[in-house]
Amino acid sequence: MNIINIEHISKIYQVGSEEVHALADVSLRINKNEYVAIMGPSGSGKSTLMNMLGCLDTPTSGKYEFTGVNVSQMSDNELAKIRNKEIGFVFQTFNLLPRSDALHNVELPLIYAGIPSTERKERAAQALIDVGLGDRMHHKPNELSGGQRQRVAVARAIVTNPSIILADEPTGNLDSKTGEEIMLLFNEIYEKGNTIILVTHEEYIAEHAARIIRLKDGFIENDEIVASRYIPNFKSTQDN
């Protein structure tokens, strides 16, 4: 089943008198339980595409169907609802609320979903346990390491059981070993049947995905299935 179906999408930014075509006539389909890496040089439109896919931004033209529903004409409130229920974001800079502890950060999407307090706390705690932070629930972001912060962000992304996880350079701010731990986490999530789209600069990160889309100057240059994707194993990240 198609989760994402975009047809002839473009995004044009007006900078002074100049038009910047961040995305130019992009069409793309992504199915359930795909693991897609989006690559490309800086300024090629990766983040713009991610924002579009995540319903954070609307295209200048073109059609976007998300789980069969046309979202390109939706109101801000409807988009907020979709982001809340169907999409989990993981950002390069973690984007956690600095004054809230890990548990509350993970609870937040459930609060906006109107889930009652006890259920909310249980689910958030479970998500934190799933990412290996059962013993850090009441730590604030500045009391956690970079890798741990990104785990909290991943827990926040999966706690609502979204249709897709969108990660924009999730390992960009981490050293390679910590990055590999996060990729292990994504692998687990993928193997449970989730759909993941991640943006990266690094070939070795992209090799975790089953499909790699390469962007250049706002259009898709290459879109290929990875013959044998790299499957990280638990041991390789837990040896010291």
Partner 1 sequence: MRHFVFEVRESLMIALRAIRANKVRSVLTMLGIVIGITSVVLMTTAIKGIDNAFQSGISALGSDVLYIDKWAWFGNVDWWKLRNRRNINMDHYEKFKAQAKLPLAVAPVINSRQTIKYGDRRVESVFLNGSTSDYLATTNFTFDLGRFYSEIESSSSRYVAVLGSEVAKNLFPLGDALDKAIKIGGVNFKVVGVLAEQGSFILGSFNPDNQAFVPIGTIFKHFLGQSFGSITINVRAQTPALVEETKAEAEGIMRKIRGLSYHEENDFSINQQEGLMSNYNQVVGVIQVAGLFITGLALFVGAIGIMNIMFVSVKERTKEIGIRKAIGAKKRTILGQFIFESATICLLGGLIGLLLAILLSMMVEQFLPTSVQYDAVILAIVISLITGVVAGFAPAYTAAKMDPVEALRYE
Ligand X SMILES: Nc1ncnc2c1ncn2[C@@H]1O[C@H](COP(=O)(O)OP(=O)(O)OP(=O)(O)O)[C@@H](O)[C@H]1O
Q: Which residues bind ligand X (CB under 6 A)?
A: 13, 15, 20, 22, 40, 42-48
Applying CB under 8 A, does 141 fall inside the site for partner 1? no
* Token pair belonging to 139: 């730590």
Least distance in angstroms from the C-beta of 136 to ligand X: 29
62 closest CA partner among 19, 20, 31, 26? 26
- The contact mask relative to partner 1 for 44-83 (x = CB under 8 A, - = no) is -------x--x-xx------------------xx--xx-x
Instruction: Give the span between the Cα atoms of 118 and 90, in whole angstroms.
Output: 25
**What order do you get walking across the sheet with 69-70 strand by strand?**
18-31, 2-15, 61-66, 69-70
Distances in Å between the Cα of 122 and the Cα atoms of 117, 137, 141 are: 9, 12, 20
- The contact mask relative to partner 1 for 171-210 (x = CB under 8 A, - = no) is ----------------------------------------
Quick one: which of 25, 112, 132, 237 contacts partner 1 (CB under 8 A)? Answer: 112
* Token pair belonging to 11: 């995004």
Least distance in angstroms from the C-beta of 112 to ligand X: 25
Quick one: which of 99, 138, 177, 192 contacts partner 1 (CB under 8 A)? Answer: 99
Whether the CB-CB separation of 146 and 173 falls below 8 Å is answered with yes
Residue closer to partner 1, measured from CB, 27 or 117: 117
What is residue 1's three-state secondary structure? coil
Applying CB under 8 A, does 113 fall inside the site for partner 1? yes
Read off the DSSP letter of residue 220: E
Applying CB under 8 A, does 155 fall inside the site for partner 1? no
Element (H, E) at 53: helix 46-53
Residue closer to Mg ion, measured from CB, 47 or 148: 47
* Terminal-to-terminal C-alpha distance of the chain: 41
42 binds, among ligand X, Mg ion, partner 1, none (CB under 5 to 8 A by kind): ligand X
- Which residues contact partner 1 by CB under 8 A? 51, 54, 56-57, 76-77, 80-81, 83-85, 89, 91, 95-97, 99-100, 108-109, 111-117, 156
